[in-house]
Amino acid sequence: MILPFDRTATDPASRARRGSILTPHGRIETPVFMDVGTHAFVTNCAPADLAAIGTQVVLANTYHLMLRPGPEAFRQLGGIHQFMGWPGPVLTDSGGYQIFSLPGDRTITEKGARFKGYTNQQMLLLSPERSIEVQTAIGSDIMMVLDECVASTSDEATTRAAMERTHRWALRCLGARTHADQALFAIVQGGIVPGLRRQSAAFLAEHPFDGFAIGGLAVGDTRAQREDLTALSAELMPADRPRYLMGVGTPPDLLQAMLAGVDMFDCIIPTQLASQGTAFTSTGRVRLKRMQNAVSEARLDEQCGCATCRDFSRAYLHHLFKCREPLGPRLVSLHNLHYYHTLMADSRQAIERGTFAAYAKRQLDAIDRHEHSARRFGQT
Amino acid sequence: MILPFDRTATDPASRARRGSILTPHGRIETPVFMDVGTHAFVTNCAPADLAAIGTQVVLANTYHLMLRPGPEAFRQLGGIHQFMGWPGPVLTDSGGYQIFSLPGDRTITEKGARFKGYTNQQMLLLSPERSIEVQTAIGSDIMMVLDECVASTSDEATTRAAMERTHRWALRCLGARTHADQALFAIVQGGIVPGLRRQSAAFLAEHPFDGFAIGGLAVGDTRAQREDLTALSAELMPADRPRYLMGVGTPPDLLQAMLAGVDMFDCIIPTQLASQGTAFTSTGRVRLKRMQNAVSEARLDEQCGCATCRDFSRAYLHHLFKCREPLGPRLVSLHNLHYYHTLMADSRQAIERGTFAAYAKRQLDAIDRHEHSARRFGQT
């Protein structure tokens, strides 16, 4: 195994696991939330800022980085860690999801995806081999296979065809790997069809991938479907390797998925909501643009230990958003990411203590209660 | 005197002075460059960031702050230091320059300026008394009188009328002050007419202002005019009180004005150029968007001790600007402000040592040389 994964504890009342993954750039304590740094930066946060809020892993994107700065720049500059000044682990997504989700001309064949690059309008090919070549140049600790995503609303034949192509591409990625110190994760597809998810997990589990991801969720499915398919997929994945739920989700999504045995997560929600002025707090979401915050001396979250809560009132954060000042999204992004990392650290501790199922239930109930009371008072 | 100003050294070969001003929020070592925080923030920089780069004073603006968050918010929240989390000295400009420079309907009469606020489209009055009332609510350490600016290209009669009104308004401001711990500076006007500048300085010097500013420059005048009028105005201002050159300028502007005996400065140039990707360095200006930086492992300035230069290559900063990522302007703003504060700290030290005239000449020659060589190599 390229990527040593130690499972150090299992929750007695759920499938939740506590573990650690050893990468060339340090140990990742799992379960872990990874910060989204698509273009080799987490928006308006420098690596030193991330280190201060408990970030363990930065997730970058092959599709975007092959366009800018391009693989040649990474080769000349010694890889992404050196480039962005982040000494910790980096995971790169393969670009499969971007080919699926970004607008514009693209043709997907067995060879790969042809698309027009947004930086210079040239036609480019992203094949399994090319994705691995670019990820090798980027120098990430964990690479992802190129997969073919389809909408959750696709018919079963379309979903099956994409899944089967994803399997063939996964094996081509495995064959294309040249650097033994870069781990490679496979991606389970199969849409919202339980039988296909089972097939996909079973097929991929037969091959020596370093970890397994659940792809193709949060693309048109309901929360209930997402929870069921996550639980089903996680159960079918090898227990001795990390399980990664891609692009999901809210704090309740994370808690449910940890209960189902998922180890790794990423999502744009904490930074995206921050850019709109919405903060996660121990008493529910706070929408900073609302007038009720205009002269509030209260902290964003009196329970929180982050620098934003230490240094600023809600009134000042409200003012920053009213002025459309980038310091507002920055301070709330750091707070929201700190909130996510604290949730994960508390979850890790609860799994170690064997009390995670009860902890998760308390958290889920509290979030539910805050959301109901917010709706009752017209705050959602 | 409300604002104790100690002059601790004078340069033997120029009019440069070394001093310190004691405010209710700490001591200001002069000469000083003040960071522009118009709306109660320095764009994308938190107070902790400013403390780390050597910022001593933040300059906020009465015109903008009376519109948002408004004086009532400051009264409820305990003033600007508490509001923005900046424990150090704050200077507020009166809004005179904004009335002059901002587009839109406004009528200036002896009473004051009537204008339509951009937050709620209501008609508002900014009179000398109202400006002091708002600055009192803001709670700045140093307030500025409301003045009437005119373009440097105005005829002499217009310039004289504005100067005379500025004098009457200055006395009304002095009469309107209610809080003995807030200092008040007068503003010398008179456009580019030496005789008017002399009259203005002489008139204002007869009254108990805590400091004197040179206003109405960098509004259409040439660099040579600016230098001559600065020297002329500074010479006529009382030696025992601080002299402040408003809204000026580049590093050479600052060096020239210090040679003429000016103690305080503010300017948007370091942050404005940063937003465009231009950095001040010990070897001249660096334009980060240029392709020559795309794979440069060099630091922005190998001589610089700021966090941006410690943590990032030019290639990465180039990438941030290519991606239009706000982290780029943030990192270069912090570097540029650090550059300005280092220039001022070095200047203070040179004045103490009695070597400032020679230091300033070396700096001016070096900047000149870099600009010439940049032009020669097509880099400007």
DSSP code for B240? T
Alpha-carbon separation of residue B39 from B44, B89, B91, B93, B156 (angstroms) = 12, 16, 12, 11, 34
How far is it, in rounded angstroms, from Cα B135 to Cα B131? Answer: 6
Question: What is chain A's mean pLDDT, rounded?
Answer: 94
Contacts of B84 in chain A (CB under 8 A): 316
Closest CA to B145 of B191, B65, B204: B204
Task: Write the DSSP string, A99-151.
Answer: HHHS-S-EEE-SS-EEEE-TTT--EEEE-HHHHHHHHHHHT-SEEE-------
**Is the Cβ pair B46, A331 closer than 8 Å?**
yes
The alpha carbon of residue A83 is apart from the nearest alpha carbon of chain B, in Å, by: 6
**Residue A93 appears among annotated catalytic residues:** yes
Residue B380: its pLDDT value, please? Answer: 40
ω into residue A31 within 30 of 0, thus cis? yes
Along chain B (380 residues), what's the average pLDDT of each consecutive run of 10 residues?
A: 89 98 98 98 98 98 96 97 98 91 83 90 92 98 95 92 97 96 96 94 96 90 90 95 96 97 98 98 97 97 97 98 98 98 98 98 95 61
- 3-state SS of A284-304 is CCEECCCHHHCCCCCCCCCCC
**Is the Cβ pair B40, A330 closer than 8 Å?**
no
Residue B17: its pLDDT value, please? Answer: 98
Question: Assign residue B105 a region: left if phi > 0, alpha if psi is -120 to 50, beta otherwise?
Answer: beta
Q: Does the pLDDT of residue A103 top 60, yes or no? A: yes
Could you report the predicted ipTM of this complex, rounded to two decimals?
0.96
Residue A377: its pLDDT value, please? Answer: 54
Helix and strand element counts for chain A (H, E): 15, 16
Q: Does the pLDDT of residue A117 top 60, yes or no? A: yes
**Is the Cβ pair B315, A39 closer than 8 Å?**
no
Q: Which of A41, A297, A323 minimises the CB distance to B325?
A: A41
**Is the Cβ pair B316, A85 closer than 8 Å?**
yes
Q: Does the pLDDT of residue A380 top 60, yes or no? A: no
Alpha-carbon separation of residue A27 from A55, A137, B284 (angstroms) = 12, 22, 42
Q: How many residues does chain A have?
A: 380
Contacts of B326 in chain A (CB under 8 A): 43-44, 326, 330
Q: In the numeric block, which tokens belong to residue B150?
A: 């005119």
Residue A283: its pLDDT value, please? Answer: 95
- Which amino acid would we find at residue B263? D
pLDDT > 70 fraction of chain A, expressed in percent and rounded: 98
B93, B210, B253, B301: the catalytic one is B93
Q: Which of A85, A294, A323 minimises the CB distance to B39?
A: A323
Residue A121: its pLDDT value, please? Answer: 85
Task: Write the DSSP string, B166-180.
Answer: HHHHHHHHHHH---T
How far is it, in rounded angstroms, from Cα B343 to Cα B95? Answer: 28
Contacts of B323 in chain A (CB under 8 A): 39, 41, 68
Task: Write the DSSP string, A56-99.
Answer: --EEEEHHHHHHTT-HHHHHHHTHHHHHHT--S-EEEE-SHHHH
CB contact at 8 A, A207 and A231: no
How far is it, in rounded angstroms, from Cα B151 to Cα B137? Answer: 30
Residue A221: its pLDDT value, please? Answer: 83
Helices A128-138 and A156-176 pack at an angle, to 10 degrees, of 50
A11, A35, A93, A141: the catalytic one is A93
Contacts of B40 in chain A (CB under 8 A): 316, 319
CB contact at 8 A, A263 and A31: yes
The alpha carbon of residue B161 is apart from the nearest alpha carbon of chain A, in Å, by: 36
What pTM does this model have? 0.96
Contacts of A322 in chain B (CB under 8 A): 68-69
Neighbouring CB atoms inside 10 A of B59's CB total 26
**Residue A311 appears among annotated catalytic residues:** no
Q: Which of A45, A69, A295 minimises the CB distance to B294?
A: A69
Residue A116: its pLDDT value, please? Answer: 87
Residue A1: its pLDDT value, please? Answer: 53
How far is it, in rounded angstroms, from Cα B286 to Cα B278? Answer: 6
ω into residue A103 within 30 of 0, thus cis? no
User: In chain A, whose CA is at the least distance from the CA of B331?
Assistant: A46
CB contact at 8 A, B9 and B352: yes
What's the gap between Cα B217 and its chain centre? 12
Q: Does the pLDDT of residue A287 top 70, yes or no? A: yes
> In this predicted model, what pLDDT tens digit does every residue of A27-83 receive, in sequence order?
999 999 999 999 999 999 999 999 999 999 999 999 999 999 999 999 999 999 999
Q: Does the pLDDT of residue A379 top 90, yes or no? A: no
CB contact at 8 A, B66 and B116: no
Q: Which of B44, B313, B316 minimises the CB distance to A330?
A: B44
